[in-house]
Structure 1
């Protein structure tokens, strides 16, 4: 009997919903920073359960000779490389060790999403300034949120400022909204496709986000004929909007 991966992904959403307000129930609205830190720890715990042993997850900073990044809520790094400092859930890493950066939000509206994409894109640009060929998972994870598909994709494209080094490539908002950047077409394999796809994956967005992170860390070679990670029918049938990456004139001319 085949596994029911759809129900499994939906159970991850149920787990997020069960955990997200646990601290708020105790302190109500008296300390939003603590509530936010709890939600970040929830996502780090979800990721750590399936993270390969050569990677670690923490919060922290990417440090360069021109200065540090802003604080990164969820930082995935290659633990086979030296780090500058590690203590508890806080780590300071060089760009070479950084493989994933995630911004976590309790709730996002359109304006909050625009601000989050710019902050994340700035950190992406900093990492890739020193590691120009690095594959980098860059994501936004919001436990709740809203915004029309067209507006969300417009903001994520604007944050890139026409630079591929600033692209935010994965987003999960609430239980069902999932956004992914495709350098190549997901079905035809067309090269230089460079589109974001907005999907409505019923009650599965957090699970899709985490499993896409694992696929990214595996070099997009996670399935290999044994698809136990995603629903067999795929998600392209659930796509509701798409937007092409807006290139800078210099990139187009090249």
Structure 2
């Protein structure tokens, strides 16, 4: 029996849900309470990810700590922290956790409105967390997903390339650890692991969905295989705008 299920519309509805939730609080508290709105938007995205990800993984916020030559080092606070529940937890209270690198599957920086002028600082911050987790990669443990999720950002397509290229590159120092960036519901940026360049797409109404699907794909222990079209029902290839070469 043929299904009437429309995968493209399903994934597009993810964007609609996030945009609707964003506006719901803004309509009530206005534009002056950015801190509260930002925390609410982090919670929205965390709860959405929980609906898609395996219950084996815990989705919260918090810190990662590790022992380096007898001294404890700690990351800055992570907006969305995803880790494997099979590992021990140093500290937990509600959705707040402190964990060690071996358990970490993903870290995400969430922004309400990521302006192009703020890109360098945000890229540098999340990339430093990726560097903090480098030893875990080198030991053959996890290769965590590192991402930046912005609800609203640069919308002008003609000036996009000139406004973000140098700002993204300036936030990366010795190595790029970032997997994906959303600037808004339409602009999706991906850094393929085998290519030293960011690929920038105008994926209208699919940027949020592409971000979440790439997150799920990397967090999984097994490849998606023939299930991949279910998570990526729209080909983003013909929506590419340009590449950003990363010469490190």
Q: Same fold (TM over 0.5)?
A: yes
How many equivalent residue pairs?
236
Structure 1 residue 87 and structure 2 residue 89: aligned?
no
Counterpart residue number, 1:178: 188
1:37-186 to structure 2, matched below 5 A, reads 37-65=39-67, 66-129=72-135, 131-132=137-138, 133=140, 134-146=142-154, 148-164=160-176, 167-184=177-194
Give the match's secondary structure for 1:135: coil
Specify the alignment match of 1:245 in structure 2.
Answer: 246
Shift of 1:130: 5.2
The Cα shift of 1:98 comes to 1.1
**TM, length-normalised to structure 1:** 0.86
1:196–1:30 distance in 2 versus 1, CA, 3 Å: closer
Q: Is the 8 A contact 1:143 1:174 kept in 2?
A: yes
Shift in CA distance, 79/202, structure 1 to aligned 2, threshold 3 Å: same
Q: 1: distance between equivalents of 2:228 and 2:119? A: 35
d(CA) in 1 for partners of 2:225 and 2:186?
22
CA offsets per residue over residues 19-52 of structure 1, 9 Å max, x none?
Answer: 0132232222453221111000010011000111
Give structure 1 stretches of 5+ with no counterpart: 185-192, 248-254
Distance 1:226 1:109 in 2: 32
| TM-score (structure 2 length as normaliser) | 0.88
Q: How far does residue 93 in structure 1 lie from its aligned partner after superposition?
A: 0.6
Whether the 8 Å CA contact 1:162–1:246 is kept in 2: the answer is no
Contact 2:46 2:59 in 1 (8 A): yes
8 Å Cα contact 2:136/2:143 also seen in 1: no
Q: 1:225 to 1:79 in 2, by over 3 A?
A: closer
CA–CA distance in structure 2, aligned partners of residues 246 and 196 of structure 1 = 11
User: What is aligned with 1:199?
Assistant: 201
Alignment correspondent of 1:252: none
**Residue 190 of structure 1 corresponds to which residue in structure 2?**
none
Unaligned runs of 5+ in 2: none
What is the CA-CA distance between 1:151 and the residue it aligns to?
3.8
Shift in Å, 1:11:
0.7
Please, what is the CA RMSD of the aligned residues?
A: 1.9
